[in-house]
Amino acid sequence: MQEDDSGHAADEAEAFKLPVTAENVALGRLGRIYKALDRKTGRMLAVESIDIVDNAADSEEGCCSAPEIAHRLLKTELERCGAVVNGDKGRHIFCYDSVSSSQSRVYLRSTSSVIRSLAGHQKDFERLHPLAVKQYIYQVVRGLRELHEAGFSCGGLSLSSLLLCGGNIVKIATWFPSAQTVNALQSQEILSDPQFCRSSFGLQVANDEMAQDVRSVAYVMLEMLTGLRVRGALMEKSNLLSKVAEGSLEHQVLSRLLSQAPLKEVAAHPYFSSVSPIDSMGTLDLSQATQEQRYITGILTKQELSRCQTMKRQYLQQIRAWQGQFEKKYRRKPKPADRPAGIVRLQGRCQALNERVQELNDRLAASHGSIYRMIADKEALAIDPPSQSVPVQHEDHLSQHTSLVDVTAGSPVASDESRSDSFGRNGGNRSPAQKAFLNRFASQ
């Protein structure tokens, strides 16, 4: 029976290609999260890879290997945690669909469309726009509240453990497995020691993981607002609050989080009153969303669409180059059986990108009520709303920094003379459309 189970687990591990890229996209509770490719469907997956030390000979269950022990514990935990992410609950909680194992690793597999972690997002944009920060923190607070109500904790959050998924939805990734299961795995001495050093912040709080969770929300919020890394003395309440303008709504929310106010109370703060409502499908509720909220959502969706188009074109170039070499060598067109594994994977990725591009176009058209059409050559969308007060029809490619980076005017971030103001209202060679976009947020 054990041989059948190990063989089945090996088949599951071979069902996906890991990793697609050498760099992990985020951190889970026990390992690193990578993007993987489903060999059967060609769809992109998210897989947490957990390194296992095989000390089964010294354990009480010497008849089982270390991966088998971890596989069994995590599978039981996954079945128990299924209720947390069912229905409307769990919209901002990242969970896995299945568990598989190999000789030295255990894999937690998810079919969620993970784009990247917020750490990677911040690395590209430095300071995020206050409207984006507000949206992300609200989703984190909601997800954390659902976890705490279900009896789960994360032991502290970080930008590396918050995933930006399809639909611009943020999900928490470091809650699974529970602390009890982690302790059970640790007692077996089968987990690598470095995995216990991946907590987001070394919080000097009593062993109350839920209190750590609430405080860490303040840390990630400040990191997104300022671009600073919250470490050491900056974790002290007075030092942290000094980085945000006193009297601002951001200052009030940070103060409540650091005081460990109930998450229900934090979510009801006026700071979140203008956050875009999200329906059960993870899309924007237009009946309550403002024009600015619809516009910023469109900007974020445009950026993802542009990246998808760029990746697809690169993959197609590689496929066509191989096809040209094949036809030149064999004087015929290649058959499906002639395609090497690398080309098959590229074709699968192109198929997945086609589906994602269609989904993004549908979302833009549905959520904005405008006519969006793809311009493949320019890697952009032509936006042509007849009565849109924000002039965007002349924007072929809006700078990423302009769309998300915090602008100085109207910013809640305390002034910092050491930081060069490269994003001022009058700086650079901005188009009138870009200046109008920045002025709308400055006037709020």
Give the pLDDT of residue 141: 94
Please check the confidence at residue 201 and state whether its pLDDT lies above 50. Answer: no
Residue 156, by phi and psi: left (phi above 0), alpha (psi -120 to 50) or beta? Answer: left
Mean pLDDT of all residues in 321-333 = 92
Domain with residues 2-272, CATH architecture: Orthogonal Bundle (1.10)
Q: What is the mean pLDDT of the chain?
A: 73
pLDDT level of residue 9 (50, 70, 90 thresholds): very low
| DSSP for 292-318, written as a single string | HHHHHHHHHHHHHHHHHHHHHHHHHHH
CB 423 within 8 A of CB 435: no
What are the residue boundaries of the structural domains of the chain, listed by start? 2-272, 291-397
Please check the confidence at residue 63 and state whether its pLDDT lies above 80. Answer: no
pLDDT level of residue 19 (50, 70, 90 thresholds): low
pLDDT in tens, 330-361: 999 998 888 888 888 888 788 778 877 877 77
Mean pLDDT of all residues in 185-203 = 58
Select from 23, 176, 41, 199 the least CA-distant residue to 96: 176
Please check the confidence at residue 98 and state whether its pLDDT lies above 70. Answer: yes
Scan for tokens 């010497």, then name that residue. Answer: 62
Cβ partners under 8 Å of residue 252, min gap 6: 269, 271
**Which range among 117-131, 263-277, 383-397, 400-414 shows the weakest confidence by mean pLDDT?**
383-397
Give the pLDDT of residue 249: 93
Count of H-run helices and E-run strands, the chain? 13, 11
Give the pLDDT of residue 65: 79
What percent of the chain lies above the pLDDT cut of 90?
17
Give the pLDDT of residue 79: 82
Cβ partners under 8 Å of residue 57, min gap 6: none
Give the pLDDT of residue 437: 59
Helix (H, G, I), strand (E, B) or coil at 32: strand
pLDDT level of residue 385 (50, 70, 90 thresholds): very low
- Rg value, the chain, Cα: 24
User: Which tokens go with 425?
Assistant: 């209202």
pLDDT in tens, 145-192: 988 888 888 888 999 889 988 777 899 988 888 878 888 887 777 777
Top pLDDT among 222 and 288 is at: 222
**Which range among 164-173, 237-246, 365-374, 386-395 shows the weakest confidence by mean pLDDT?**
386-395
Helix (H) or strand (E) holding 47: strand 44-51
